[in-house]
Amino acid sequence: MSPDTPITAGPALQWNGYPATAATADKTAAQNVSVLIADDDLAVRRSLRQTIEAWGYTVVEAASGRQALALMAVDPNRVVLSDIDMPEGDGFDLLHEITGRYPQAGVIMVSGMSHEKIIDAAIEGGALGYVQKPFRLPELKSQLAAAVRKLQNPGRTQDLDTVKEYARLFVMTSDLHHIETGSHIRRIQKLSRHLARLAGCSDTHADLIGEAAGLHDIGKLAIPDAILKKPGPLTPEEFEIMKTHPVLGGKILEAAKDPLLKLAHVIALHHHERWDGNGYPHRLQGEACPLEARIVGIVDVYDALTERRVYKEPWPVEKVIEFFHEKRESSFDPRLVDLLLSNFAEFETIRTAEHS
């Protein structure tokens, strides 16, 4: 058998007729990189997993597009090997969601289909590569290595520092413009980071969520001061104008290419959606709203209720807890509410530390 012989799923993928082992792995390139295999065929997933783990990668599996997105929300710094024909969101749906939400990830499409139009559509949609079934290991390994290099781009750290500085400038601008106090934005960043970690996000992604959360209300820069700074309750007409700030924030950030600003775009646009689908602007229901936006949405309300505002006094802790119990399955993701309430003392410590 030559190295270019097609390989089908079985107990293990083969390399030159022998099981792929750690001896064939490029451990250095694979270090700290996770590979997500999204395929509804269990035999394919297991065979791919055994081979790719032998190359030195950490591997997780998903049997559907929906499962894959849930895993990406926890840690988006992955290379994704995605089948095209899957339940609950096919490979092209998954590609669109990942390239839109997680530009720091790399996607390689995997399929038994070899039609030129399908391959072109995958590449034009943002895929880094396309591997046809049955697999040829040299092709798979080389495309995987190329995707890893993209994730390990050494210039990203300096770029991220620049974007973080941009986010901090917005915090200062908001404070001067009296949109939100700088202390409120800093609390939202810290609280979002903490809830993200409790929700199972990796430290890296939780930190990114925390940074991006500082831009959640950037759209308020376009709201008239007469509404934004009104000391009393808004009229129904004024509230409709205020409700446009997520869309306005989305427009400000929609052309962003950097991963932090791409995530900030998602959060700014969706942090006022509700679990029951009665939020705004797009009435997204349940997990259709990105996890990052659900996290920022709940801590934004928590901070608003517990802090003094020009139009209200802070609520007592007992009333805040009762509120979240009542809204657990209507306004907010019930799992996130449970994490907030079961760790309430920790959130209070983080929130009140900003006052000292």
Q: What is the dihedral of CA 203, 204, 205, 206, to 10 degrees?
A: 40
Give the CATH number for residue 141.
3.40.50.2300
| DSSP-derived pairing of the beta strands 34-38 and 78-83 | parallel
Among the three residues 124, 151, 178, which one is the final residue of a domain in this structure?
151
Sequence-separated (6 or more) residues with CB below 8 Å from residue 248: 219, 220, 221, 222, 223
Q: Can 229 be counted among the known catalytic residues? A: no
Tokens 């209507």: give the residue. Answer: 330
| Predicted confidence pLDDT, tens digits, the chain (356 residues) | 333 434 444 433 433 333 333 333 344 445 567 899 999 999 999 999 999 999 889 999 999 999 999 999 888 888 999 999 998 888 999 999 998 888 778 899 988 776 678 888 888 888 888 888 877 787 788 888 878 877 776 455 445 566 666 666 666 666 555 555 668 888 999 999 999 999 999 888 999 999 999 999 988 888 887 888 888 889 999 999 999 999 998 988 887 777 888 899 999 999 999 999 999 999 999 999 999 999 999 999 999 999 987 678 899 999 999 999 999 999 999 999 999 999 999 999 999 987 75
Asked whether residue 207 falls in the same domain as residue 60, the answer is no
Sequence-separated (6 or more) residues with CB below 8 Å from residue 304: none
Residue 174 domain-assigned (yes or no): yes
Sequence-separated (6 or more) residues with CB below 8 Å from residue 135: 6, 7, 8, 13, 48, 110
Asked whether residue 113 falls in the same domain as residue 218, the answer is no
Asked whether residue 211 falls in the same domain as residue 319, the answer is yes
Q: Which of 133, 190, 220, 262 is catalytic?
A: 220
Question: Could you report the per-residue pLDDT of 85-140, keeping only the tens digit for each?
Answer: 998 888 999 999 998 888 778 899 988 776 678 888 888 888 888 888 877 787 78
pTM (two decimals): 0.67
Asked whether residue 83 falls in the same domain as residue 218, the answer is no
Asked whether residue 188 falls in the same domain as residue 146, the answer is no
Asked whether residue 226 falls in the same domain as residue 86, the answer is no
Q: Provide the domain count of the chain.
A: 2
Asked whether residue 112 falls in the same domain as residue 24, the answer is yes
Identify the domain containing residue 147 by its residue range.
Answer: 14-151
Instruction: Give the pLDDT confidence score for residue 189 in this predicted structure.
Output: 94
